[in-house]
Structure 1
Amino acid sequence: MTKPLDPQPNSDAPNPGIIFETLNLHQRSAALHAAIELDLFSAIARGHRTVEALTEHLKTDQRATRILCDFLVIAGFLTKDNETYGLPPVSAEFLDRASPKYVGSIAKFMNSPDLLEAFKDIAQVVRTGTTTLSRDGTTATEYAGWIEFARSMAPIMMPAAMFMADMATRERPGAVRVLDIAAGHGMFGVALARKNPQAAIVALDWAPVLEVARENAAAAGIEDRYTLLPGDAFEVDYGGPYDVVLVTNFLHHFDPATCEKGMRKIADALAPAGLVLTLEFVPDENRIEPPIGASFAFTMLGTTPKGDAYTFAEYDAMWQRVGLTKSRMVDVPNSGQRLIFTQR
């Protein structure tokens, strides 16, 4: 709930409300997931704004619909005026299926059974230092969850993809060969190819995941400049040389030694004047700010054997050890992520 319990109003005494609120946060996630699955936000956007109208339109139970809608008002996802519900700006822009910025599909991956299972026994994870998921968690060879990731997460990645495309085109204009490592949905390479009509993209990922990237490249009309490279990013021959290498949301899954193994392959495949763009959740040196970047370490704790959210100093040191000595970082607008530029 948005308002913690306050057993002692106007008092400076410690308030246990945050404990109650945090232990109940799973209910908030479940409510949002249900509303997305029911397409509740789109129904309200289309004019079904009362419990009765929503019940008839969605074919749901009246009592349950009322309780869900009121809960979503309390959580900030709906508004309520007398008995009429509405959409606040964030829901209208991102949760109405008719909006070009709709991101509701991300619930399929973020609330997938594997990811929920990963956080059921964090005490055991802390005892052992590794995920309770079978095999190697989300780093397992050809982990099936990455197919759902590729299909579900593209919309929320688009602002960062467009920003990276702008940066890459500004830094390395003209005819360039681009390697997109852990391409997933492919939208980082696709955005760059659309921004720069002289860019040729090589997308690297597991073969089943690359089918999603290929579909997105075809839909964007850049398939003739889009080549698939299926395989393990730590083992497959990259080819090269590449003028630009995109490393997006990949390195955080691994320990430093494994990261450096991949970085060395990147350095070997990079053209002399080449540029590496690393998109990551990068905390400040204190590891508690900014909240999105810093808290991502907890995501890695639950879902990977040895992953982490590394600081800029740690990334810089790893790149330097593989021969790429110049790195700088910028914040990605409208995102909790940061972009690192690295070259020789």
Structure 2
Amino acid sequence: MPRRATRVEDVANRDVLDDIAFGFYKAAVLKAAVELEIFTRIAEGHRTVPSLTRITSASERGTRILLDALCFIGMLTRDRFEYKLAPTAESFLVKGKPTYFGDAALGNFAWDARGQLSKTVRTGKPISPIATSDAFEPIWAGGAASHLADWQKNLADLNALWDKLAIAPDVKSLRVLDVACGSGIFSFALAKRLPVARITALDRAMILPYAKHLAEALGISSQVAFVVGDVLNLELKSEAFDLVLFGNVTQYLSPEQNIGALRKAFESLAPNGRIVIAAPIADEDHKGPGEVPMIGVETLLFSSDGDIYTFVEYRGMLETAGFSEVTTYKDDWGLISARRIEKPKA
């Protein structure tokens, strides 16, 4: 869900600063609960302060204060002396569930990186593992896991995107490559709409089990092949696909890395084949849209040379890679399409 920018008030208002600082407290409360496995322990039946104190080896006073704060931020409910999981905590914060998202949302190195943003601003280089590194793989896996709990909601949003892209419903076949597929929800939504679609879901080994799980939940497993791969080391057959998808990855790559990956995608497409990029796209003045400027901070923290690119910059990269008919679709989240058009021979 896109978030709105804080409204600029006509007069000085310290409440704005208090609200920002209070957000840090809420994140700290959630991080402490994840580290102490509070949600997992409550799911196991440890629902009182004394019981949780024993199982976590924490102080009674600290445990009580933390639990009440978790109630305030909506992660727990309380019935006299017993604490219970709110639906969000039950879905995403209990270790062992396939939808567990706690470590990905508030992992130590992500927390440390955000706390040292000023250092990254000074140097222009991340102090933590970058998004394309092996060390970041568990974070991507956690993100894929989170889609397993709310895919029905995401499916409706993605169907609206596919309506915008106007993939013909009467196609006889459609060979799709989903690069850095994550949970696979983007391409799987298309497969659900088009039984003739055959998806090649490509991502790192730790992430693909979540994509397999989602394909089973959607009833499209027979339409999907899973391939271990990496966006920076694509090995693709010539003219093997009709559609190639890049979702939520290009902002972590440099222009040169993007052009290299896009060129390989171009070569893998059949004539008149299409590429679709889903990524945050900056306005030309970089003021927006929506939360895009805040997403830019993530690219600064977790990539060496990535950026929130404008449409003009994406068009340049795509055309350099060989694509034509580059089109953007106005949305809070960016969507760009282009084609491999065979040029007439001289």
Q: In 2, are the aligned partners of 1:55 and 1:65 still within 8 Å (CA)?
A: no
Q: Larger deviation: 206-215 or 141-150?
A: 141-150
Give the TM-score, by structure 1 length: 0.73
SS in 2 for 1:315: helix
Shift of 1:12: 7.5
Per the alignment, residue 142 of structure 2 pairs with: 148
Shift of 1:270: 2.0
SS in 1 for 2:206: helix
Q: Does 1:290 align with 2:284?
A: no
Per the alignment, residue 220 of structure 1 pairs with: 218
What percentage of residue pairs aligned between the two structures are identical?
A: 27
Per the alignment, residue 131 of structure 2 pairs with: 138
Q: Larger deviation: 152-161 or 124-133?
A: 152-161
Amino acid aligned to 1:313: V
Q: Does 1:194 align with 2:230?
A: no
SS in 1 for 2:297: helix
Q: Which runs of no fewer than 5 residues in structure 1 stay unpaired?
A: 1-10, 44-52
SS in 2 for 1:27: helix
Amino acid aligned to 2:336: I
The structure-2 alpha-carbon separation of the partners of 1:75 and 1:289, relative to structure 1 and needing over 3 Å to count, comes to farther
Q: Does 1:123 align with 2:124?
A: no
Q: In 2, are the aligned partners of 1:194 and 1:222 still within 8 Å (CA)?
A: yes
Within the candidate set 88, 99, 112, 2:107 is matched to 112
Per the alignment, residue 248 of structure 1 pairs with: 247
Shift of 1:35: 6.5
Shift of 1:25: 2.9
Query: CA offsets, 1:255-281, max 9 Å, x none?
Result: 112111111111222222322222112
SS in 2 for 1:25: helix
SS in 2 for 1:180: strand
Structure 2 CA distance, aligned partners of 1:142 and 1:39? 25
Shift of 1:341: 2.6
Shift of 1:109: 0.9
Query: CA offsets, 1:113-147, max 9 Å, x none?
Result: 2211222322221222110015xx22114743233
Q: Which runs of no fewer than 5 residues in structure 2 stay unpaired?
A: 1-8, 54-58, 93-97, 341-346
Structure 2 CA distance, aligned partners of 1:64 and 1:306? 42
Shift of 1:171: 1.5
Per the alignment, residue 22 of structure 1 pairs with: 20
Corresponding pairs, count: 311
Per the alignment, residue 265 of structure 1 pairs with: 264
Q: In 2, are the aligned partners of 1:319 and 1:325 still within 8 Å (CA)?
A: no
Shift of 1:223: 2.2
Per the alignment, residue 6 of structure 1 pairs with: none
Within the candidate set 333, 338, 342, 1:342 is matched to 338
Structure 1 CA distance, aligned partners of 2:327 and 2:220? 30
Structure 2 CA distance, aligned partners of 1:211 and 1:300? 26
Q: In 1, are the aligned partners of 2:174 and 2:243 still within 8 Å (CA)?
A: yes
Structure 1 CA distance, aligned partners of 2:281 and 2:151? 16
Structure 2 CA distance, aligned partners of 1:232 and 1:191? 22
Amino acid aligned to 2:29: A
CA RMSD, 1 decimal:
3.9
Q: In 1, are the aligned partners of 2:272 and 2:339 still within 8 Å (CA)?
A: yes
Structure 2 CA distance, aligned partners of 1:142 and 1:277? 27
Give the TM-score, by structure 2 length: 0.73
